């Protein structure tokens, strides 16, 4: 079936189910950032393969809502599908609610698979459409799933233990913290729906999703028990033994019966996190009191303990070795010819894979040469990728998954002689990276304010970057992790043990892109903290040289220059024992003080 035929078939099912429109989001039941293949309903139906996009199908029209990153790709992939491309953020593009209000009459209804929409997103539909007299019917099974006869099976990789030697905290300790939070909130149970939350809480990992080693599972924590609901075929003897006495293991689909019982229990008050819990969970809990708030796991998970902090440091030493090999390789491979954005990122992945304990990349590498470097979410394809030539700038943003920690690093390197403009912009981006990392900030400061330090040197010349400065990072979990961030949004104050990326950039459309990114821990600033007031600062864990041929020292303050030289000294000190003589020599030169 092509997209047009699939949509026609879906409309028949819609009629049968008495709904006048149907919603097909890009989501799994756990609101994951990266989807397992078997949950890519939207891609299967529409043919559009971008990471972000939602489809609405009415009886006459259909539309796909996506953002500016995917306007070009969407217009190509949707050709002939009968689905209109809805360019979000462009003037005149209707919102989903506005579009539905135009397509549907009063009293008609929208159908939604309750298991692939979050409680909060469902509320937006309910409230927005009520004003137009349109009803929302939540039900399972998924109508697209019924048509998708060759839908891939779920991944059955085994669930494994993430040992305390890496994560630094026993399941019992984590459960008691969650129960203490439940008690404070007056809750009798907490349904844990976010996959990274389940993984952190029960120290389990798997390979269900690309880049993020989570297990597809729900967990339910009560005062007496913890239960994990997971496909039985993923549960070997080892993990069953490890979890014994800590959590009961039940089949994935049995969660619905148990939630129903929980709803029917006397005086039950269930904690759910609306952002990562699907609507079906709340519907199934009918009868229970609902406490809606961010899961207590979110804040706990974001504060790394001493074992994790050392683990991240070790992961970054290995990652740094791979980066050094890659940066040295670039210097000869590019002039030798035959390299592309793809061969280069493959080479870096190969260097990473040589490292001890390497498990996977932590996200799709962004390998952008020249003008492609200016496309913030650029994804090179084998067919269209650029050849690397010995001129212009090259930007590579990549990361790895190690059981000790997750990495995420961006470096920008000149493949030939850089221009004056490129040097000025690189220096100002670097000044932002340094200021944001180096300047102490008092306890209570949010990332929304702190990230201004990263922008200052660029703003001073009227330049800015259209993305946040940084995000939290999980340990051998999601490379993007809340609740904290360095963005223009309201997030909780930064606290000791948080780890964030610091990644200002500068992009000149059609010309070049610059970004410098490292991960850094929020640490207590001993020099400035007093008995009354705690000051924090960032300690970078990423270890790789920053190209000094792109630096104009004259623009920098002496403090910034000192920081860069000390950082480079540390990079050499920590990485050189792991390198052979040739790479050591190269690194010595690359980290020379300016």
Q: How far is CA 203 from CA 199, 294, 301, 475, in A?
A: 5, 20, 11, 11
- Choose between 531 and 581: whose C-beta lies nearer to a second copy: 531
Question: C-beta of 566: minimal distance to a second copy in Å?
Answer: 16
How many C-beta neighbours within 10 Å does residue 384 have?
11
Q: Give whichever of 299 and 439 is closer to a second copy, judged by the CB atom.
A: 439
Q: For residues 54 and 71, what is the distance between their CA atoms, to the nearest angstrom? A: 13
CB 79 within 8 A of CB 61: no
Are 542 and 407 spatial neighbours (Cβ–Cβ below 8 Å)?
Answer: yes
Which of these segments, 285-293, 380-388, 446-454, 574-582, binds a second copy (CB under 8 A)? 446-454
State which residue, 280 or 428, has the beta carbon closest to a second copy.
428
- Cβ(550)–Cβ(414) under 8 Å? yes
CB of 468 to a second copy, least distance (A): 13
Among 82, 145, 440, 497, binds a second copy (CB under 8 A): 440
Given the complex with a second copy, which of 76 and 461 has the nearer CB atom? 461
Of 326, 329, 453, 563, the one binding a second copy (CB under 8 A) is 453
143 or 458: CB nearest a second copy: 458
Of residues 19-58, which lie at the interface with a second copy (CB under 8 A)?
none
Q: Which stretch binds a second copy (CB under 8 A): 41-49, 306-314, 447-455, 476-484?
A: 447-455
Contact call for residue 443 and a second copy (CB under 8 A): no
Give the residue ranges of DSSP H helices in 203-289. 237-243, 255-264, 279-284
Question: Residue 442 interacts with a second copy (CB under 8 A)?
Answer: yes
Both tokens of 18, joined, read 């008495």
How does 120-159 read in b/e, with b if 16+ C-beta sit within 10 Å? ebbeebbebbeeeebbbebebebbbbebbeebeebbeeeb
Interface residue with a second copy among 38, 452, 495, 561 (CB under 8 A) is 452
Q: Output 9 or 439, the one with its CB closest to a second copy.
A: 439
**Which own/partner pairs from 122-130 qualify as long-range (CB within 8 Å, at least 24 positions apart)?**
122/279, 123/274, 124/97, 125/23, 125/96, 125/97, 128/95, 128/97, 129/97, 129/100, 129/101
When asked if residue 448 is in the footprint of a second copy (CB under 8 A), the reply is: yes
441 touches a second copy (CB under 8 A) = yes
- Residue positions counted in the chain: 594
Query: Six-digit token pair at 507?
Result: 């992009």
Residue numbers 475-504 binding a second copy by CB under 8 A? 488, 490
What's the CA gap between 90 and 98, in Å, rounded?
15
Q: Which of 221, 179, 219, 214 is nearest to 199 (CA)?
A: 214
CB of 487 to a second copy, least distance (A): 11
Complex with a second copy: residue 218 or 536, whichever CB lies closer: 536
Residue nearer to a second copy on the CB measure, 49 or 488: 488
79 binds a second copy (CB under 8 A): no
461 near a second copy (CB under 8 A): yes
Residues 6 or more apart in contact with residue 462 via CB below 8 angstroms: none
> Please, which residue, 150 or 532, has the CB nearer to a second copy?
532
Tokens 């300690």 map to which residue? 539
Contact present, 564 and 594 (Cβ < 8 Å): yes
Q: Could you tell me the smallest distance in angstroms from the CB atom of residue 488 to a second copy?
A: 7
Specify the residue, 466 or 581, whose C-beta has the smaller distance to a second copy.
466
CB of 395 to a second copy, least distance (A): 23
CA atoms within a 13 Å half-sphere pointing along the CA-CB vector of 314: 17
Phi–psi pair at 496, nearest 5 degrees: -55, 135
Choose between 62 and 556: whose C-beta lies nearer to a second copy: 556
Ranges within 521-580 binding a second copy (CB under 8 A): 525, 527-529, 535, 557, 559
Chain centre to alpha carbon of residue 164: 24
Cβ nearer to a second copy, comparing 9 with 443: 443
Output phi, psi for 470, to 5 deg.
Answer: -170, 165
CB of 491 to a second copy, least distance (A): 13
CB of 429 to a second copy, least distance (A): 16
Q: How far is the CB of 442 from a second copy (least distance, A)?
A: 5
The count of other CB atoms within 10 Å of the CB of residue 174 is 21
Element holding 460 (H helix, E strand): none
- Touching a second copy, residues 418-437 (CB under 8 A): 435
| Sole window of 62-70, 218-226, 318-326, 456-464 interacting with a second copy (rule: CB under 8 A) | 456-464
Number of residues that bind a second copy (CB under 8 A): 25
Phi/psi region, residue 21 (left: phi>0; alpha: psi -120 to 50; beta: rest), is beta
Please identify, using beta-carbon distances, which residue of 54 and 435 lies nearer to a second copy.
Answer: 435
Interface with a second copy by CB under 8 A: which residues? 435, 439-442, 448-450, 452-453, 456, 459-462, 464, 488, 490, 525, 527-529, 535, 557, 559
């Amino acid at each position: 079936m092509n997209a047009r035929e699939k949509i026609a078939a879906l409309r028949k099912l819609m009629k049968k189910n008495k709904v006048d429109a149907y919603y097909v989001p890009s989501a799994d039941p756990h609101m994951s950032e990266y989807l397992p293949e078997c949950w890519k309903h939207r891609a299967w139906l529409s043919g559009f393969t971008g990471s972000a996009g939602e489809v609405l199908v009415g009886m006459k029209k259909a539309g796909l809502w996506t953002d500016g990153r995917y306007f070009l790709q969407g217009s190509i992939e949707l050709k002939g599908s009968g689905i209109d491309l809805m360019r979000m953020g462009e003037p005149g593009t209707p919102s989903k609610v506005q579009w539905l209000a135009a397509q549907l009459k009063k009293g008609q209804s929208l159908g939604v698979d309750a298991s692939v929409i979050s409680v909060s997103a469902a509320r937006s539909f309910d409230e927005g459409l009520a004003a137009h007299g349109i009803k929302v019917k939540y039900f399972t099974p998924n109508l697209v799933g019924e048509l998708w006869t060759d839908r891939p099976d779920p991944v059955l990789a085994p669930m494994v233990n993430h040992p305390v030697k890496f994560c630094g905290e026993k399941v019992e300790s984590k459960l008691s913290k969650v129960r203490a939070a439940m008690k404070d909130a007056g809750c009798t149970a907490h349904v844990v729906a976010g996959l990274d939350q389940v993984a952190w809480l029960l120290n389990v990992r798997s390979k269900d999703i690309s880049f993020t080693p989570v297990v597809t599972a729900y967990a339910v924590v009560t005062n007496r028990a913890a239960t994990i609901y997971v496909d039985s075929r993923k549960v070997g003897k080892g993990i069953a033994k490890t979890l014994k006495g800590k959590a009961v293991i039940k089949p994935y689909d049995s969660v619905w019966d148990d939630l129903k019982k929980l709803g029917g229990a006397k005086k039950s008050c269930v904690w759910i996190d609306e952002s990562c819990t699907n609507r079906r969970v709340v519907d199934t809990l009918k009868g229970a009191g609902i406490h809606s708030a961010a899961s207590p796991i979110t804040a706990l998970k974001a504060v790394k303990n001493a074992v994790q902090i050392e683990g991240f440091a070790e992961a970054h030493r290995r990652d740094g070795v791979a980066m050094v090999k890659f940066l040295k390789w670039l210097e000869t491979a590019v002039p030798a010819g035959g390299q592309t954005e793809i061969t280069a990122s493959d080479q870096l992945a190969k260097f990473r894979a040589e490292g001890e304990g390497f498990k996977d990349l932590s996200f799709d590498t962004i390998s952008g040469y020249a003008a492609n470097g200016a496309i913030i979410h650029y994804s090179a394809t084998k067919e269209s990728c650029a050849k690397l030539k010995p001129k212009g700038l090259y930007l590579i943003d990549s990361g790895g998954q190690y059981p000790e920690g997750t990495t995420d690093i961006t470096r920008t390197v000149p493949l030939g002689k850089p221009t004056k403009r490129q040097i000025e912009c690189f220096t100002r981006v670097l000044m932002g990276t340094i200021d944001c990392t180096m300047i102490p900030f008092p306890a209570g400061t949010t990332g929304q304010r702190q990230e201004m330090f990263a922008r200052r040197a660029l703003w001073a010349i009227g330049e800015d970057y259209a993305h946040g400065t940084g995000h939290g990072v999980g340990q051998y979990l999601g490379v993007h992790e809340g609740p904290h961030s360095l963005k223009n949004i309201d997030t909780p104050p930064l606290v000791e043990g948080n780890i964030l990326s610091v990644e200002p950039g500068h992009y000149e459309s059609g010309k070049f892109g610059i970004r410098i990114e490292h991960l850094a821990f929020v640490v207590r600033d001993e020099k400035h903290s007093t008995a009354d007031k705690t000051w924090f600062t960032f300690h970078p864990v990423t270890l790789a040289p920053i190209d000094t041929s792109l630096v104009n020292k004259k623009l920098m303050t002496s403090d910034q220059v000192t920081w860069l030289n000390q950082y480079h000294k540390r990079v050499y000190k920590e990485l050189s024992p792991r390198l052979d003589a040739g790479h050591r020599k190269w690194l010595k030169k690359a980290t020379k003080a300016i």
